[in-house]
Chain A
Amino acid sequence: MDLLGSILYGFSVALTPDNLLYCFIGVFIGTLVGVLPGIGPVGAMSLLLPTTFHVSPLGAIIMLAGIYYGAMYGGSTTSILVNIPGEAASVVTCLDGYQMAMQGRAGPALGIAAFGSFIAGTISIIGLMLVAPPLAEAALKFGPPEYFTLMALGMTILIYLASGSIPKALMMAVLGIILASVGIDATSGKQRFTFGILELNDGIGLVPLVMGLFGISEVLLNLEQKVKREILKTRLKGLLPSRLDWRDSAKPIARGSILGFFLGILPGGGALISSFVSYGIEKRLSKDPSKFGKGAIEGVAGPESANNAATGGAFIPLLTLGIPANVVMAMLLGALLIHGLQPGPMLMKNHPDLFWGVVTSMYVGNAMLLVLNLPLIGMWVQVLRIPYRTLFPLILLFCLIGAYAVNYSQTDVLIMIIFGVIGYLMKKFQYEGAPLVLAYVLGPMLEDALRQSLVISNGSFAIFVTRPISAIGMVLAIFLVFSPLLPWVTKKRPVFKEE
């Protein structure tokens, strides 16, 4: 099937009534969690994962993907109107978006964020369609050493960027690998770290782990803080940006789209990094950098486009190599595995309906989001008015039901609460959850690839440096791990909070 044929086939799958409904549910919930602080896309995806067990794998992935890119749209609304990012990737939108709102230009700020996101989303989907097939073809030649190195590199990049302290982030990744090994070892059949608890034979579930670390712990932390949200009392008018707004935003949108797409592909990269880099570039390229932070529309258009483009890019390593680029993609990988699908180079060949259906559904979802975020903006503003004291019991309730629904197991709920407390303490002691979850998801694949590589090489670690792709990845990973020892790198290292 040629590219055009594949795209048309994808649309024929994505436009069935069932898949349209799942897509709508996904982008609606995504926008909702993007608007509401306290639960991000990872939490929402883990929450809804058990409910997708009754749905076809394609419908499930379409819905979960919709939550991810929907949250990117929704996050901008709170950044612009409340100066609190609903989603981490919208942090940078606060800088100029809120200032625009203060100047009575909330409408154009929301409008350009939505249009920019739509254009960027579209460009990244086209990029995904063009890049994924040849990459999947090339990935067929990859062996266990290449996979091991790519996974190690992905984790290392996340560790390098995700935290202020590299040793702490590295510790969390190691802990993730240890947690992933709990249960019966597939190779030897031996029980590992189960301590005689029958429920642990299948390992620690992804859903309770993620819900605890990202859902429960977030509620506990928010309850402690006395933050009062004040929504800007401004009339929302003129959502369609003016001709001048478009002229100022066209290039930032184009640059943000391309930049976001490529940064999204990088393992460990993602929407957050893209939005920060885009803001930096726009400020540097601007004729008048002093207007940034005071309501420059370029400061909204660029980052909002970049964070949406990154969502499309992030699908490439997952769908072609089976390696998640970030924690959200790790959740999607978990969902694919639960539905009995193995992401990787063979996915496109064995399940073209899933690959092309998901890709084209993202285009449909982007169009839905435009409708949801412009004419219905008033509804989201009303959602913003829901006080946290009403929200947090509901978030906790959904977490409890979500954790229970996976296996109808009390132990899973208990595990979720335990990880909620661990996540709370981790944040108090400044350890991040993202490297842990990524390592947890990659752990079993990483162990298999390591074992197979050592068997192939007759016990020689040289196999990781004698094969070109593996060698490049290994050198990069080692450089990033030991880079804090080099003062000139430490000074320039960008630091981002977890996604």
Chain B
Amino acid sequence: MGKPDQVSSLFWSILGLGVVYLSYRLGLGTLTHPGPGFLTFWSGVILCCLSAVVFFQGVRAQRGGTGVTLPQRWAGMAWPKSVYVIIALLAYVLTFTYLGFLLSTIVLLIFLFKGIEPETWRRAFLSAGLSSFISYILFGIWLQVQLPRGLLEKLLF
């Protein structure tokens, strides 16, 4: 409870207002013939109302001295690791159709094995290579998932 609740409830209320506006534009219809925006309009209204409840619960908790601040939620946590992983995953998504499954996956896994948790280079390369090839055989060949061939495979095959 406390400040994080106030921040999150503000976010949800803005989202709720957006949903209300867009639903209204979609058309609410009538009670006998509800339109495409009917359920989502009322969902948005409820989301806003509940956000207000959570907001005031947060205010009350802070006044009562039981609230925590946002930095306290991340205190003592190795949160940069999570940020690096998210960046690595986004980079993977943006490049894997161009580079192909095998190459991009090997690069991603080397980073995850070596960059996030301490691991020797040899082990990181070996684990990344093996995992990529086994998953390629399992999904790409055995289960016939059409994994992107990309740069490396075009050169090789």
Contact = CB atoms under 8 A, between A and B. Distances in A.
Interface of A: 50-51, 54, 165, 167-168, 170-171, 174-175, 177-178, 181, 185, 187-188, 190, 192-193, 216, 219-221, 223-226, 388-390, 392-394, 396-398, 400-401, 404-405, 408, 410, 413-414, 417, 420-421, 424, 428-431, 446-447, 450-451, 454-455, 458-460
Contacts of B105: 397
Given A177-B43, A396-B85, A410-B97, A188 B79 contact: no
Contact of B40 (A165, A167, A178): A178
Interface in B18-55: 19, 22, 26-27, 30-40, 43-44, 46-47, 50-51, 53-54
Interface in B61-109: 73-74, 77-79, 81-82, 85-86, 89-90, 92-93, 96-97, 105, 108-109
B135 A401 contact: yes
A441 to B, nearest CB: 15
A167 B53 contact: yes
Interface in B109-154: 109, 112-113, 116-119, 127-128, 131-132, 135, 139, 143-147
Contact of A171 (B12, B22, B112, B113): B12
A174 B41 CA distance: 11
Contact of A51 (B27, B109, B113, B143): B143
5 contacts: A187-B36, A193-B19, A398-B135, A405-B145, A429-B73
A174 B43 contact: yes
A12 B87 CA distance: 50
B145 A178 contact: no
Nearest to B77: A224
B146 to A, nearest CB: 5
Nearest to A219: B85
B39 to A, nearest CB: 5
Given A393-B113, A397-B135, A459-B30, A181 B47 contact: no
Interface of B: 4-5, 7-8, 12, 15, 19, 22, 26-27, 30-40, 43-44, 46-47, 50-51, 53-54, 57, 73-74, 77-79, 81-82, 85-86, 89-90, 92-93, 96-97, 105, 108-109, 112-113, 116-119, 127-128, 131-132, 135, 139, 143-147
Nearest to A398: B135
B93 A401 contact: no
A429 B11 CA distance: 12
A421 B143 contact: no
Contact of A450 (B26, B34, B73): B34
Given A175-B12, A459-B31, 14 more contacts: A51-B143, A168-B54, A178-B40, A178-B44, A185-B36, A225-B77, A393-B109, A393-B116, A404-B145, A421-B86, A428-B74, A429-B7, A454-B31, A458-B32
A450 B31 contact: no
Contacts of B147: 401, 404
B39 A414 contact: no
Nearest to A220: B82
A223 B36 contact: no
B135 to A, nearest CB: 6
A400 B89 contact: yes
Contact of B143 (A54, A413, A424): A54
Contacts of A424: 82
A480 B35 CA distance: 29
Contacts of A175: 12, 15, 47
A417 B34 contact: no
Contact of B47 (A178, A390, A400, A417): A178
Given A178-B44, A224-B78, A401-B145, A396 B89 contact: yes
Given A401-B145, A410-B97, A223 B50 contact: no
Given A389-B117, A429-B5, A224 B82 contact: yes
Nearest to A186: B36
Contacts of B57: 165, 167
B33 A223 contact: no
B35 to A, nearest CB: 7
A223 B116 contact: yes
A414 B32 contact: no
Contacts of B32: 454-455, 458-459
Contacts of B26: 190, 192
Contacts of A185: 36
A54 B144 contact: yes
Closest 3 CB pairs of A and B: A459-B31, A389-B117, A393-B112
Contacts of A50: 145
A413 B93 contact: yes
B143 A389 contact: no
Nearest to A448: B39
Given A171-B50, A181-B40, A224 B79 contact: yes
A223 B12 contact: no
